A and B are shown apart, each in its own frame.
Chain A
């Protein structure tokens, strides 16, 4: 009885306290949610602003690079460096050059095109390599030098020499030549 009277006496103040507590917590929670929402908006705007600044800097750089490299790139496209494998042209070039220089016992083997290793760091370009095993008898070193120069100046990719073995059995005999040439081309966009 006394216990229930005790509780009844405290019911109103306890209810008021609870009501105040609930209202206070709700209001504070609502304030906090609003603050968090504005903070999130601020972070998003800041991220967008940072991205825009980066893009502006990048556009300045792009403009500079475009002005600096576009002409050279167009030249490379024309020369066949930027583009597909041109083994038929290379074959004809090798045949024509060997014939013009009067090489004997000429044989060559154009291997399948392969991706250059290690790959380029940019990731949007792929450097492709086509190895060519070339064997011939060459009258003297001058012809050999002419052969390499003729192949280098042709405009169907970039020609490099990876390895060459020259054997002279005697001074009266021609040079036995065995070389590994490489033709390089660049695929503009990565093939995913």
Chain B
């Protein structure tokens, strides 16, 4: 279904040529003359191509080509302008289309269009009826010059002004291209172009026509390319390359070179003159399709049907692949879960055994540990007597220092932390006879001894026998006399290890 045949039909006044392209491979089927036998043979040939796609290449004198420049507009204005102009140009032709060919290089840079029209296909009704009988769906309806444009682009890329001379079963066609733009085309009958001299005259006349219609300035050279499928056009170029005063240069495209380019058999090319254009019709996309939407309805339906069937098949394939992967992934996961469950059962058995080995306890084992550790910390917390002993050791060396009071503090509320204990020492220097200097020296000596003890971390004087701070007042009454030399110290004791 994907590689359905693509039928290629050359439609001329005297008959048709039929070819087929399948999987990119071209096959010429035959030529059919417009008589009863030809119609019957054509009908028989179509029998094997039911529902095929069809492209028709018309070659008739009913074709019209008119090149025009129109103001550059876009959107709906452009569509309306082109439709109006097409109606005016085609003058009631059944098939017409506008071909956009780029913009002018100068001035307002107008848009260039070629209006292509085909008056009627009434003369080909029999052929079309046969095609309809075999349910062959029309996709493209175009003309020889349009297909020639594709060939020129492929074979003659560098010509500025080119007269493209081709010979089909319907006659010899002269198509003029300026910078690869089709501007003009005419069909000569076989009778008027059979001999080289006759065809040379036709070409010279065409040259004059092009000049008179300003398609080609008089002094500009004109290249003439002749597709010589029958190997009989060498004489034509010899005539044209003679000094005619028309600045012509003719060269022949030999059939073997052409066959190589088009990838067809040379002998087929010699036998059937329509092959080059049929090959191009099948291989290249054409710029203008003259078929009306009603004519291509069947083809579009077929494309939609194929698209929907292809989408359904694609959907099935994707589903099969993704679903297969998901099934595989689920199986992997399931085996992993089964393995984990086995491990879980083993671990639960281990846990039961481990729980049985734990002795019965009045509370959770963590609580046992916490209770014992708290008790140990509380039992090891600071006590006043060891600190008093430290003080007694130092006082033994200080005969002039007498204690009058002690305050011992230790806050052990935070059992997690080791807090040091604090000792406030109230004392006085005895005996004291008013000599503050000696008293201060005794207290300082006492403090120095305290600082040297390993258990004492810090010693601060809160109150001394006399205040020597130059920032505060110092007062003494002579009547009261100097009774005592008291002091107060604060000791910070290290945590006993």
Given known A20-B315, A24-B316, A116-B415, contact A9–B359 (CB-CB < 8 A): no
Contacting A at CB under 8 A, from B124-154, are: none
Taking a contact as CB atoms under 8 Å apart, the answer to whether A14 and B297 are in contact is no
Taking a contact as CB atoms under 8 Å apart, the answer to whether A125 and B309 are in contact is no
Taking a contact as CB atoms under 8 Å apart, the answer to whether A120 and B374 are in contact is yes
Q: A73 contacts which chain B residues (CB < 8 A)?
A: 361-363, 368, 371-372
The 8 Å CB contact of A20, one of B316, B340, B350, B369, is B316
Contacting B at CB under 8 A, from A5-34, are: 6, 9-10, 13-14, 16-17, 20-21, 23-24, 27-28, 31-32, 34
Q: A67 contacts which chain B residues (CB < 8 A)?
A: 359
The 8 Å CB contact of A70, one of B318, B348, B359, B411, is B359
Distance in Å: Cβ of A134 to nearest Cβ of chain B: 13
**B355 within 8 Å of A by Cβ?**
yes
Distance in Å: Cβ of A95 to nearest Cβ of chain B: 22
**A104 within 8 Å of B by Cβ?**
no
**B102 within 8 Å of A by Cβ?**
no
Among residues of A, the one whose C-beta sits closest to the C-beta of B327 is A31
Given A56-B354, A67-B359, 10 extra CB contacts under 8 A: A2-B294, A20-B312, A52-B347, A63-B365, A65-B366, A69-B371, A72-B375, A162-B412, A164-B406, A164-B407
Bitwise, A95-136 to B at CB < 8 A (1) or not (0) is 000000000000000000000111011101101010000000
Distance in Å: Cβ of B369 to nearest Cβ of chain A: 5
Given known A20-B312, A120-B374, A188-B362, contact A164–B369 (CB-CB < 8 A): no
**A154 within 8 Å of B by Cβ?**
no
Give A141 to B386 CA distance when docked, in angstroms: 12
Taking a contact as CB atoms under 8 Å apart, the answer to whether B337 and A42 are in contact is yes
Sample of 14 A–B contacts (CB below 8 Å): A16-B309, A17-B312, A31-B326, A31-B330, A45-B344, A49-B340, A56-B350, A59-B351, A76-B372, A144-B385, A160-B381, A164-B384, A166-B406, A188-B362
**A167 within 8 Å of B by Cβ?**
yes
**B453 within 8 Å of A by Cβ?**
no
Give A168 to B330 CA distance when docked, in angstroms: 88
Contacting B at CB under 8 A, from A54-92, are: 55-56, 59-63, 65-70, 72-74, 76-77, 81-82
Taking a contact as CB atoms under 8 Å apart, the answer to whether A28 and B326 are in contact is yes
Among residues of B, the one whose C-beta sits closest to the C-beta of A118 is B414
Chain A residues in contact with chain B, CB under 8 A? 2, 6, 9-10, 13-14, 16-17, 20-21, 23-24, 27-28, 31-32, 34-35, 38-39, 41-42, 45-46, 48-49, 52-53, 55-56, 59-63, 65-70, 72-74, 76-77, 81-82, 116-118, 120-122, 124-125, 127, 129, 141, 144-145, 148-149, 152, 158, 160-169, 182, 184, 186, 188-189
**B379 within 8 Å of A by Cβ?**
yes
Give A148 to B309 CA distance when docked, in angstroms: 102
Distance in Å: Cβ of B79 to nearest Cβ of chain A: 22
Give A45 to B62 CA distance when docked, in angstroms: 83
**B91 within 8 Å of A by Cβ?**
no
Chain B residues in contact with chain A, CB under 8 A? 294, 297, 301, 304-305, 308-309, 311-312, 315-316, 318-319, 322-323, 326-327, 329-330, 333-334, 336-337, 340-341, 343-344, 347-348, 350-351, 354-355, 357-359, 361-372, 374-375, 378-379, 381, 383-385, 388, 403-416
Give A6 to B397 CA distance when docked, in angstroms: 123
Among residues of A, the one whose C-beta sits closest to the C-beta of B422 is A163
The 8 Å CB contact of A166, one of B294, B358, B378, B405, is B405
Give A189 to B364 CA distance when docked, in angstroms: 10
Give A141 to B304 CA distance when docked, in angstroms: 114
Taking a contact as CB atoms under 8 Å apart, the answer to whether A14 and B365 are in contact is no
Give A4 to B82 CA distance when docked, in angstroms: 31
Among residues of B, the one whose C-beta sits closest to the C-beta of A38 is B333
Taking a contact as CB atoms under 8 Å apart, the answer to whether B410 and A161 are in contact is yes
Taking a contact as CB atoms under 8 Å apart, the answer to whether A34 and B409 are in contact is no
Taking a contact as CB atoms under 8 Å apart, the answer to whether A35 and B330 are in contact is yes
Among residues of A, the one whose C-beta sits closest to the C-beta of B415 is A127
Distance in Å: Cβ of A94 to nearest Cβ of chain B: 17
Q: B364 contacts which chain A residues (CB < 8 A)?
A: 62, 124
Distance in Å: Cβ of A179 to nearest Cβ of chain B: 8
Taking a contact as CB atoms under 8 Å apart, the answer to whether B375 and A76 are in contact is yes
Taking a contact as CB atoms under 8 Å apart, the answer to whether B323 and A53 are in contact is no
Distance in Å: Cβ of B490 to nearest Cβ of chain A: 14
Which of B369, B405, B415 has the most chain A CB atoms closer than 10 A to its own CB? B369
Give A81 to B374 CA distance when docked, in angstroms: 10
Q: A34 contacts which chain B residues (CB < 8 A)?
A: 326, 330
Q: B368 contacts which chain A residues (CB < 8 A)?
A: 65-66, 69-70, 72-73
Given known A20-B316, A81-B375, contact A2–B297 (CB-CB < 8 A): yes
Taking a contact as CB atoms under 8 Å apart, the answer to whether B305 and A9 are in contact is yes
Taking a contact as CB atoms under 8 Å apart, the answer to whether B363 and A27 are in contact is no
Q: A38 contacts which chain B residues (CB < 8 A)?
A: 330, 333-334, 337
Distance in Å: Cβ of B358 to nearest Cβ of chain A: 5
